[in-house]
Structure 1
Amino acid sequence: MASLSRRQVRYGLESELQFVDVWERPPVEREAAAISDRYWFIYIHGGAWRDPQCLTDTALPAIHRLLSADSPHLDPGRIAGFASIGYRLSPHPRFPQDPATTPAEQLRMARHPHHFDDVRAGLAALAKDGGDNGSPADYLLHDRYIVYGHSCGAFLAFQLWTEQANGQGRRPPCIVGLDGIYDLRGFVERGGSPEHGGGPGTEFAAVLTEIAEGAFGLDPNVWDRASPARYDFSQMGETAATRDQKARLAIVAYSTEDELVDIGEIKSMERAIQGGQSSGSLTYVALRDLRGRHDEIHEDGHEVARVLTEAVKRLDELQGRH
């Protein structure tokens, strides 16, 4: 792929899915983060916490878009590299497994907080990966990276902020959610969009309940505590670990053509983030102009590339890079 080479970083041994795919420049093309205007882009895939056909490779269409010679998006010279974090999955009724005959590392039996624990561990592995100029560790140390997620990947991405409410660690400087799930209780209670066959009491609503219970259990209070849209974003204030962070940017993007995630999800997330803006600790952007159905967003990659281009533009403005 262009001038980027691919490798894997493993961060766990419990599951074959505990790895991070990394696409990076050859050593001669790398730049030290401290003097670079480049970013690392770190992806978290969707798949309703359970789809074994929706994994780290779903980052590739957007990567190809951004690296193409005639790309209308971000200048490829602004890209330091890409990473895509894999994580353990919950059971999926369409892809059953027999625990008696399936090797332990292949079993998909995750239950919250396993998915998030893996994402956090994957990011921590990147923060230790290399250390030399241009490495993931170099760019994470200097807050020169953007975390973006699609669908439940957006939920997991924002948990990197909300699940660290005690302020003990540095949070990613920018989180981007694309057609994201953010409020499990609301997601299930609304049952999807009526214009796409959803709504309370429908078969589609039953599937959403199955997804939530399969990944998070039966207790809606557990769902609430995990949901980014139920988080008090006023807690995103300055801490000793984050005092020198120059920007914290949240972008949520949504397609009205999405047949799986209804518009109530972006509305819920907007309300939550806006409630915390008074602290001055974050900048928030909502984009409601994505085009395409739910999976088309990552399968085509154009809209992902466009939103990441907007994220870089906004971060440049926040950091005084015009």
Structure 2
Amino acid sequence: MKKLTRYLQKQALQYSDEKYSSAAYLSPRRNHEPQEKLKHHLKTTSSDNNNHLRPKMPPNRKPSNRGAAIPSRISSNIQRVQYASENILQSYELFIPPPPASESDSAIPPPYSEKHPSTPSFPIKRLWIIFIHGGYFRDPSILASSFHATLSLLTDPNSPDQQILALQRHTAGYVSINYRLAPHEAHPQDPTTTPSYEMRNARWPEILGDVLNALRHFQAKHPSTRPGGDEGYVLVGHSVGATLAMNALLHMQNQEGIAPPVGIVGVSGIYDFIRLHETFPGYDAMTRNAVDEEDWEGISVARKRRGEIEAAWAAAGGEGGGKENKRWLLLAHSKEDTLVDWGQLEAMANVFKMDSSKDGPAAVTVKCDVEEIKGKHNACWEDGRELARVIERCVGEIVGV
């Protein structure tokens, strides 16, 4: 009986694993963040207004071709790693590219060396790129696989972009994190028939805890990314993935086994939920679906002081002299984005532009830059081009400055 029970459990877990694998979610249909269809009004709307619900795809509608051309060198070499066992979504995708053909890893290849020919090498030899997806904490169609198009571009050995080829010589590997999701009214689940490890009923701070646990698990497997090692990582987040990246940084100082990133790339990010709801009142109910209202200000990183962020970055570990005390924050956004307004980027950038205060000599110095990208909210990861470009820029800054 025990053997039969174990066999059935194994079969169920395997079924769920295949159901939530990247291939299953790389379908050729068009994914949107759940607020895509929301009608934005500056007047207060009722919390039971259903205008924001994403309609189901009509049966006669032809799917788009997005996501259908991921090369086999990507899809066949992604490893799915479970960092916790409570839920099938507590996993991350790991991709380690083959080593570069000829260039020495220790040398700074062009164009970085051309930009800064007299600048010595950064203490860290190679970087990992770790991505956190968006989906407003709840969209089951936007998972770790949303990074595949970008990954394909960044790892193309025949890329015509010399900066991409330079990035490849300084990249150790790529990680894309899944985390437990909040409920979604357009994708209901019956708790009486859905296995507990497939339920999407997470809330903040459980969702943030998943990201921190994924980083802890990854660094335990790759200790060279911890202080004293010769590798570091850049944390990249899209939409609420950027929210999670910045909040993860602020909580690392209280976590064992997690070293901070060398840089953070926030793309189309949400950094001030109070401001977001003032601009788009209809988002209130969606945010409340995952985050209690009393926590909205606390998770709004744009309401922190610069010194507080820099002190948290230093307290998390890895502080030292010279370049080792410098961190990079690249904020990217599109003025064509109708779901998250440009004001979110401005609010976050102003923390570093307007506030020059420090919380003491141990605080690191954050170099904050702004990059305008093109396209709608999800366009940057749907085709991968703009997301790849801003990642390349951040890595270039870290390696070459």
TM (norm. structure 1) is: 0.83
Question: 1:26, CA displacement in angstroms?
Answer: 5.2
Local SS of the residue matching 1:226: coil
Question: 1:5, CA displacement in angstroms?
Answer: 2.5
Q: Tell me, in whole angstroms, the C-alpha distance in 2 between the residues paired with 1:162 and 1:277.
A: 18
* Counterpart residue identity of residue 183, structure 2: P
Q: State the partner residue of 2:366.
A: 282
- 2:132, 2:245 within 8 Å by CA — same for their partners in 1? yes
Q: State the partner residue of 1:7.
A: 79
* Counterpart residue identity of residue 196, structure 2: A
Which moves more between the two structures, 254-263 or 71-80?
71-80
Are 2:300 and 1:227 aligned?
Answer: yes
Are 2:290 and 1:215 aligned?
Answer: yes
Query: Structure 1 pair 55/240, CA: closer, same or farther in 2 (3 Å)?
Result: closer
* From 171, 175, 181, the counterpart of 2:270: 181
Q: State the partner residue of 1:55.
A: 143
Please give the residue correspondences for 1:35-54 in structure 2 after superposition, counting only pairs within 5 Å.
Answer: 37-54=125-142
Gaps of 5+ in 1: 130-135, 192-204
Gaps of 5+ in 2: 1-71, 107-121, 359-363
Please give the residue correspondences for 1:303-314 in structure 2 after superposition, counting only pairs within 5 Å.
Answer: 303-314=386-397
Question: 1:313, CA displacement in angstroms?
Answer: 1.5
- Number of residues of Structure 1 aligned to a counterpart in Structure 2: 295
* Counterpart residue identity of residue 252, structure 1: L
Q: Tell me which stretches of 4 or more aligned residues in structure 1 moved more than 6 Å.
A: 31-36
Cα deviations by residue, 1:173-219 (Å, 9 ceiling, x for unpaired): 1110001111111111111xxxxxxxxxxxxx32x1122100102x2
- 1:9, 1:125 within 8 Å by CA — same for their partners in 2? no
* From 207, 212, 223, the counterpart of 1:137: 223
Q: State the partner residue of 1:74.
A: 164
Cα deviations by residue, 1:205-252 (Å, 9 ceiling, x for unpaired): 32x1122100102x2x31111122122230223448332244211111
Are 2:125 and 1:125 aligned?
Answer: no
TM (norm. structure 2) is: 0.68
* Counterpart residue identity of residue 291, structure 1: K
Local SS of the residue matching 1:163: helix
* Counterpart residue identity of residue 84, structure 1: S
Q: State the partner residue of 1:200.
A: none
- 2:249, 2:260 within 8 Å by CA — same for their partners in 1? yes
Q: State the partner residue of 1:255.
A: 334
Are 2:99 and 1:99 aligned?
Answer: no
Q: What CA RMSD, in Å, does the superposition of the two structures yield over aligned residues?
A: 2.7
Local SS of the residue matching 1:283: strand
- 1:20, 1:85 within 8 Å by CA — same for their partners in 2? yes
Q: Tell me, in whole angstroms, the C-alpha distance in 1 between the residues paired with 2:179 and 2:149.
A: 20
- 2:97, 2:155 within 8 Å by CA — same for their partners in 1? no
